[in-house]
Amino acid sequence: MSDFKLTEWIFTTDHKRVGILYLIGSLAAFGVAGCAAVYIRLNQLSPSGGLFSDPQNYNIALYFHGAAMILAFLIPGLTGFFANYLVPLMIGARDVAFPRINAFSVWLFFAAIVLALISLMVSDGPDVMWTGYPPYSVTTVGNTAFYVFTVHLLGFSSILGAVNFLVTILYMRAKGMGFNQMNIFVWTVLGAFVLQLIFIPVLASAVTMLLFDKYLGTHFFDPTGGGDVLLYQNLFWFYSHPAVYVILLPAMGVLFEVISTMAKNRVFNYKACVYGGVFGLILLSGEVWVHHLYVAGMPNWLRTGQMVTTLLISVPVGLMVISLWGTLYRAAITYNVAMHYACACLFLLLVGGLTGIPLAMTVLDLHLGETAFIHAHFHFVMALFATFSIFSGIYFWFPKMTGRVADSKPALIGFWLNFVGVTMTFTPLFIIGMQGMPRRYATYEQFPQFEPYHQMATLGAMVVVVGMLLTFYSWINGAIRGPKAAENHWRSKSLEWTHAPSPPGPGNFPGQDPEVAKEWTPYDYAR
């Protein structure tokens, strides 16, 4: 810290610093998007619109919360920060394959964040939700261009990242490291980037057509000019369902690393997890998007066919879950803050995953779709699960990144407040969703009976605010004056702990290139 030079960070090509830049950017986005969430919850305090009853600002807050959380926090946090910081260290490489392209990606990401923030300040802010469905997004006075250009920049950044990491993982592993010796996290990053590479161009083309329709007078989505409103939704979800796995996969990967290390146990049935779980998700991810269009008048056969493929998602996810649960079996668990978050993730995943089953069933979705039920479901399975996984990973690799430990009393209290708070926020939403409370509502005067549930949810959000403040405090405090960490603080067997100092210098590994033995695995605790 003493010899900090700003230019060293701006012009850095070191994957670890690029990773930390991603972390700073995505946590900043998380902070702003979190404020939007608080604003939304305060708006729901009463049926007529709570503290601030301005529907326009409410709609912009919804847009910003969704877009920023998914595109600027979850995806860059997992595939930007964790992937950058950890993949080269875990596979024993000295950097990524194309370090300068890597630096370019992170600055594209920052440009996108700036663009997204500007969109909050213009007078005609985007009120199009993160999904940007036409014709609304085309006819609204709200600004759609910022949305489109933000997606372009992030997409470009992710495609560059995808190429970079696929090459790195395929060609730059340590001498002797076979595919079956890679960390599960590395596999999940590989899976996430395969999905990004295949599907981002589809999203980019969809939003580009939107831009053309709105500002250049084309008619891709305008039926009066021969277009089709549903084309956009099909293209959008053809990317955005796989995007759920771009988030879910690395979030699972982080959990496998934290849990196997803190449980000092080998991953249960590694190959089923990788070849059944990760590969299965990649294969199925492109055949299920219609579950987002169950109520959009799609042909019956398509709604039924994709109900089956969507239900079958339970097979790869189930295999990963069994491996995750099995890693606790006959383990020797020590609990730190990271492990608390990881254990909480198991419950968030369970609730979120299981509530996805009725939503996968077309006929049940005809009632549950577009309600608070689906809102609660995807918060549990994607938003909360992945956020808790990211937090778990931050506490776990904090000693690696800073040489200090962030575990402290505020960190632990913060965890419990966060866990209790999110449960309080989203459980009531399942209940009122089942009874027909629609999502994205600024007011709900036609459903006055739901008021106490909304108030409970808002109270939960306030608890989370306190938890988050403690959490952020524990990181800042830990980085500055946390207790010094041991070299391999959690006594892991993974390369980033066994072969690199904490924090690692340029080039990662002092002395010779790392090499691994034939029987080596990163989960080799039992000897």
Partner 1 sequence: MPSLRRLMAVAVPMAMAAAPAMANGGTPHSQWDHLWGHVLLDLVVIGVVFGLGALWMMFRYRAKSPDDVGTGPKLTKAQAIGWALLPAAIFMADDFFLAAKGWSLFTVYRSAPADAMEIKVTGYQWYWEFDYGNGVVTQELKVPVGKPVVLRMTSPDVIHSFGLAEYRVKEDLMPGRVSWLWFVADKPGKTVATCTMYCGLAHSKMYSDVVAVPASEFHAWMESKVRQARATTDSSRG
* Binding to partner 1 in span 266-285, by CB under 8 A: 266, 268-269, 271-272, 276
Site string for partner 1, 103-142 (x = CB under 8 A): ------------------------x-x---x-xx--xx--
Site string for partner 1, 57-86 (x = CB under 8 A): --x---------------------------
Smallest distance from the beta carbon of 318 to partner 1, in angstroms?
Answer: 5
Q: Does 369 bind partner 1 (CB under 8 A)?
A: yes
C-alpha distances out from residue 63 to 76, 137, 461, Å: 18, 12, 18
Q: Does 400 bind Cu ion (CB under 5 A)?
A: no
φ/ψ of residue 368, rounded to 5? -80, -25
| Pair of tokens at residue 225 | 């000019």
Query: In 36-51, which positions are buried (b, 16+ CB within 10 angstroms) versus exposed (e)?
Result: bbbbbbbbbbbbebbe
Cβ distance to partner 1 smaller for residue 342 or 470: 342
Beta-carbon count within 10 A of 511 CB: 6
Angstrom distance (rounded) from CA 325 to CA 327: 5
Smallest distance from the beta carbon of 52 to partner 1, in angstroms?
Answer: 14
Cβ distance to Cu ion smaller for residue 382 or 485: 382
Contact pick of 24, 167, 361, 462 for partner 1 (by CB under 8 A): 361
Instruction: Enumerate residues 226-245 that contact Cu ion by CB under 5 A.
Output: 241
Residue 230 contacts which entry, Cu ion, partner 1, none (Cβ below 5-8 A, type-dependent): partner 1
Angstrom distance (rounded) from CA 154 to CA 168: 21
Contact pick of 302, 308, 476, 486 for partner 1 (by CB under 8 A): 308
Q: Does 326 bind partner 1 (CB under 8 A)?
A: yes
Site string for partner 1, 426-455 (x = CB under 8 A): ---------xx-xxxxxxxxxx--------
C-alpha distances out from residue 452 to 45, 434, 449, Å: 8, 15, 7
Helix pair angle (15-43, 99-121), 10° resolution: 20
Helix pair angle (385-402, 409-434), 10° resolution: 160
Stretch that binds partner 1, among 29-37, 67-75, 144-152, 325-333 (CB under 8 A): 325-333
Angstrom distance (rounded) from CA 191 to CA 459: 38
Q: Does 330 bind partner 1 (CB under 8 A)?
A: yes
Contact pick of 114, 354, 469, 480 for partner 1 (by CB under 8 A): 354
Contact pick of 2, 7, 123, 224 for partner 1 (by CB under 8 A): 224
C-alpha distances out from residue 168 to 163, 174, 189, Å: 8, 11, 11
Question: Which parts of this chain interact with Cu ion (CB under 5 A)?
Answer: 241
